[in-house]
Amino acid sequence: MQDLPTPGLRERKREQTRHRLESAAIEIALEEGLDHLTIDALSERADVSPRTFFNYFDSKEDAILGMRTQDDTEQLVSEALEQMHPDTVLEGVLELLTTVGRGPDHDLHEQRHRVLREHPELLQRKFTHMGRMLAPLTEGVRTLMTRLSAEHADDAPSAAHAQVMLMTCGAALRAATAELARGHRDLSTEASTILLRARAAALVRETAGILK
């Protein structure tokens, strides 16, 4: 979890540049509107060439959302799995998803949310990235399931079951997030995360109940 022992100058500069790019994208979006945000202006404010921008993000939308080109999901998943000791599969998956879901740069969360309020279309972009994260996440879920259902000793959970479980919990979290967001709330605090998981868990159970 802590790779703090000096990530090296190289890594630090890279993080700084990434942060400047995200920051510039969000600021311009707020100041001049999303449609006036151009790659050129963005990269100029971040003091890099337009070409370099694409070394960090696939599009200006991704920069606003803070979704990097490079995919660290696999790393994040394995780290999260080590840290957690859930009692049930449902709890475990929800914790995994909420943990992996939140990225760095908490100082940008506030402004980011403001942009998203003005441009809900941006959220659609997240679906694209879900595709990339799908494989590692599914593997993580499968690990959780085997780890926890060993006690039950019923049939072996397949990758297919993991996929279904993953998407179910993901959908519940999104719905719960939307609910909490509608009723004001910060969403970035520890307390709200607990609330989020609880609401999502309830949603999953209730929906499962309808199946019978």
Partner DNA sequence: CTGCACGAATGCATTTTTGCGTTTGCGCAG
Partner DNA sequence: CTGCGCAAACGCAAAAATGCATTCGTGCAG
Residues within the interface to a copy of itself (CB under 8 A):
88-90, 123-124, 127-128, 130-132, 145, 149, 154-155, 157, 159-161, 163-168, 170-172, 174-176, 178-179, 203-211
Report the chain's C-alpha Rg in angstroms: 19
Q: Which two tokens stand for residue 108?
A: 């940008």
Site string for DNA, 59-98 (x = CB under 7 A): xxx-------------------------------------
How much helix, strand and coil, in percent to the nearest 5, is found in the chain? 75, 0, 25
Residues 72 and 103: their CA atoms lie apart, in Å, by 10
Asked if 48 is part of the footprint of DNA (rule: CB under 7 A), the reply reads: yes
Per CB under 7 A, contacts with DNA among 133-172 are: none
- With tokens 């799908």, the residue in question is 134
32, 33, 44, 54: which one contacts DNA (CB under 7 A)? 54
The residue range among 50-58, 113-121, 142-150, 155-163 that interacts with DNA, by the rule CB under 7 A, is 50-58
Number of residues that bind DNA (CB under 7 A): 23
- Taking alpha carbons only, the member of 131, 132, 144, 2 closest to residue 79 is 2
Asked if 129 is part of the footprint of DNA (rule: CB under 7 A), the reply reads: no
Element (H, E) at 156: none
Element (H, E) at 108: none
- With tokens 């479980």, the residue in question is 165
- Taking alpha carbons only, the member of 149, 181, 166 closest to residue 100 is 166
- Taking alpha carbons only, the member of 180, 183, 181 closest to residue 195 is 180
5, 31, 51, 151: which one contacts DNA (CB under 7 A)? 51
The residue range among 52-60, 133-141, 173-181, 194-202 that interacts with DNA, by the rule CB under 7 A, is 52-60
Per CB under 7 A, contacts with DNA among 27-46 are: 37-40
List of residues contacting DNA (CB under 7 A): 8-11, 13-14, 17, 37-40, 48-52, 54-56, 58-61
